């Protein structure tokens, strides 16, 4: 039997609060059904892929399954229902994510890996209960009531229902829910701002490297890369390189010291090459001397199991104050300053048009997609004069700063939410009556 060292699974609570087992706060619970590929009636079925890590349900890809008419007539989710991911999770993610049903969904059901909880409104505010279960999963405490199979985590449903949860008065539950709803709404708005900023940057980059920033261009030229502003030059990548692309060195690596830091494929994301995910290898000084990484180096993935990652590149923006080399699955490129201003080509490398051309050259073997040095060297690029290049870089840098600022605001709000979840749900912070409208 599961026991708690504290009064509730989430921690100690105020003396005027009570603790209640989950099963006493719901009127019913039931598992879903995956149905069949064919049948009498099509039904929308929510599954674990529709869960998100913030409690919002993602309705962009709902499965359609088939049931008998009698079965389908029994289905329906109600506003206030809570969906619990009963089986799933991952290596670093406990099972038990929560989905809030915010409107009636007649005729819909859930898969057999999802459990529906129907809170008792006479005893508990459904949103409050949802946030308590959300915090249980987010904090990792749910691992106490999960079982690990070979490839999947499963909730021990009997123990899960017995978990002792904080139970303030219903009025205080409403105030807690309202406070969390406010910050959650703010996070969703911040996320929309992030998405809009990223979309603006993506649109800017798509147009800047094909038509420049001047919307009044009247003189064009037809080239191997299509219609471009007059005066832009077409070159091959090898024409603007200092030396040739060079791949690194890949002995057995370790996630922790000792050893020499090594950039790997995980370091290259979103146009940058970050040292935060670097691993460590045991190499001698001669290898370091040949493969030392410097600020401004540009790295391209030459091999990956996923073709969509082949050819992506990232520039090192940080000063490197220690010995550091790079993996054999990366090519290092250095660009001639007389042909391209800093960051122009790294930004151009992120455009879909360029990447699609490069990835089309990839070849597969033994489950790994690869491109060669010649594939990169012979790819075509379009170069405006350096003054226009700098204008393009400056515009994209401004858009990048806007994206980063929006992301920082979203992350700050997420940190506030994490703090509020723990403190409000255990009574460490109390919301006085009348301080918030629930």
Which single residue is written with the structure tokens 């992030």?
194
- What are the residues whose beta carbons fall under 8 Å from the beta carbon of 341, sequence distance 6 or more? 386, 389, 390, 393
Q: Which residues of 373-391 are buried (b: 16+ CB within 10 A; e: fewer)?
A: eebbeebebbbbeeebbeb
Span 158-179, average pLDDT: 96
Q: Which residues of 280-304 are buried (b: 16+ CB within 10 A; e: fewer)?
A: ebebeeebbeebebeeebbbbbbbb
Which single residue is written with the structure tokens 């994209």?
396
**Helix then strand then coil, % of the chain, to nearest 5:** 35, 25, 40
Q: Could you tell me the pLDDT band of residue 91, with boundaries at 50, 70 and 90?
A: confident
29: pLDDT strictly greater than 50:
yes
339: tokens are 């042909």
Question: Rounded CA gap, 103 and 100, in Å?
Answer: 9
Strand partners, 363: 370
Q: What is the pLDDT of residue 1?
A: 45
353: tokens are 């048009």
438: pLDDT strictly greater than 90:
no
User: Which range among 80-89, 166-175, 212-221, 375-384 shows the weakest confidence by mean pLDDT?
Assistant: 212-221
Query: Closest Cα to residue 311, out of 331, 340, 328?
Result: 331
Span 181-189, average pLDDT: 95
Question: Rounded CA gap, 240 and 336, in Å?
Answer: 5
pTM across the whole model: 0.80
152: pLDDT strictly greater than 90:
no
Q: How many CB atoms lie within 10 A of CB 147?
A: 12
Query: Closest Cα to residue 98, out of 195, 8, 180?
Result: 180
Query: Closest Cα to residue 17, out of 7, 3, 6?
Result: 7
Q: 96-150 pLDDT, tens per residue?
A: 999 999 999 999 999 999 999 999 999 999 999 999 999 999 999 999 999 876 6
Query: Closest Cα to residue 31, out of 86, 74, 69?
Result: 86
Q: 334-366 pLDDT, tens per residue?
A: 999 999 999 999 999 999 999 999 999 999 988
**Number of residues assigned to the chain:** 438
- What are the residues whose beta carbons fall under 8 Å from the beta carbon of 253, sequence distance 6 or more? 259, 262, 264, 279, 280, 281
10: pLDDT strictly greater than 70:
yes
Query: Closest Cα to residue 130, out of 64, 187, 182, 54?
Result: 54
Residue 241 DSSP class: B
219: pLDDT strictly greater than 50:
yes
- What are the residues whose beta carbons fall under 8 Å from the beta carbon of 291, sequence distance 6 or more? 248, 249, 325, 326, 332
Question: Rounded CA gap, 165 and 177, in Å?
Answer: 15
What value, to the nearest 5°, has the Cα angle with vertex 278 and ends 276 and 284?
140
387: pLDDT strictly greater than 90:
yes
Average pLDDT of the chain to the nearest whole number: 93
218: pLDDT strictly greater than 90:
no
Residue 232 DSSP class: P
Phi/psi at 280 (5° precision) = -125, 140
Query: Do 163 and 22 meet the contact criterion of CB atoms below 8 Å apart?
Result: yes
- What are the residues whose beta carbons fall under 8 Å from the beta carbon of 265, sequence distance 6 or more? 301, 303, 304, 309, 327, 329, 330
252: tokens are 């057995």
Question: Rounded CA gap, 380 and 359, in Å?
Answer: 13
Q: What is the pLDDT of residue 273?
A: 94
Q: 298-330 pLDDT, tens per residue?
A: 999 999 999 999 999 999 999 998 999 999 999
């Amino acid at each position: 039997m599961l026991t708690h060292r504290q009064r509730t699974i989430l921690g100690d609570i105020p003396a005027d609060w009570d603790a209640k087992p989950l099963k006493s706060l719901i009127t019913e619970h039931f598992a879903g059904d995956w149905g069949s590929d064919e049948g009498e009636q099509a039904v929308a079925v929510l599954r674990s892929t529709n869960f998100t890590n913030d409690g919002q349900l993602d309705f962009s890809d709902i499965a359609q399954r088939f049931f008998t008419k009698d079965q389908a007539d029994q289905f329906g989710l109600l506003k206030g229902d809570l969906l619990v991911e009963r089986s799933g999770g991952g290596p670093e993610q406990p099972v038990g994510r929560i989905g809030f049903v915010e409107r009636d969904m007649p005729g819909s059901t859930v898969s057999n890996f999802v459990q529906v909880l129907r809170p008792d409104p006479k005893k508990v505010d459904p949103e409050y209960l949802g946030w308590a279960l959300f915090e249980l999963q987010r904090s990792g405490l749910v691992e106490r009531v999960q079982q690990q199979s070979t490839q999947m985590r499963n909730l021990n449903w009997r123990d899960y229902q017995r978990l002792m949860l904080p139970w303030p008065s219903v009025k205080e539950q409403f105030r807690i829910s309202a406070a969390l709803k406010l910050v959650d709404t703010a996070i969703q708005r911040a996320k929309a701002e992030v998405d809009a900023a990223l979309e603006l940057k993506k649109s800017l980059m798509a147009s800047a490297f094909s038509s420049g920033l001047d919307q009044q261009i009247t003189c064009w030229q037809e080239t191997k890369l299509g219609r471009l502003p007059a005066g832009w030059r077409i070159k091959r990548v090898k024409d603007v390189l200092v030396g040739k692309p060079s791949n690194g060195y890949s002995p057995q690596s370790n996630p922790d010291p000792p050893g020499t830091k090594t950039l790997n494929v995980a370091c290259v994301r979103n146009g940058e090459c970050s040292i935060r995910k670097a691993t460590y290898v045991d190499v001698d000084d001669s290898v370091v001397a040949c493969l030392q990484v410097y600020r401004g180096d540009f790295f391209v993935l030459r091999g990956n199991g996923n073709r969509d990652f082949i050819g992506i590149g990232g520039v090192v923006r940080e000063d490197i104050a220690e010995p550091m080399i790079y993996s054999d699955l990366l090519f290092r490129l250095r660009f001639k300053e007389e042909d391209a201003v800093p960051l122009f080509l790294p930004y151009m490398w992120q455009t879909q048009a360029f990447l699609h051309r490069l990835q089309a050259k990839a070849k597969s073997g033994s489950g790994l997609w690869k491109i060669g040095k010649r594939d990169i060297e012979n790819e075509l690029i379009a170069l405006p004069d350096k003054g226009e290049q700098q204008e393009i870089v400056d515009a994209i840098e401004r858009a990048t700063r806007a994206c980063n600022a929006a992301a920082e605001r979203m992350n700050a709000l997420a940190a506030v939410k994490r703090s509020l979840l723990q403190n409000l749900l255990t009574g460490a912070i109390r919301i006085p009556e009348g301080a918030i409208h629930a």
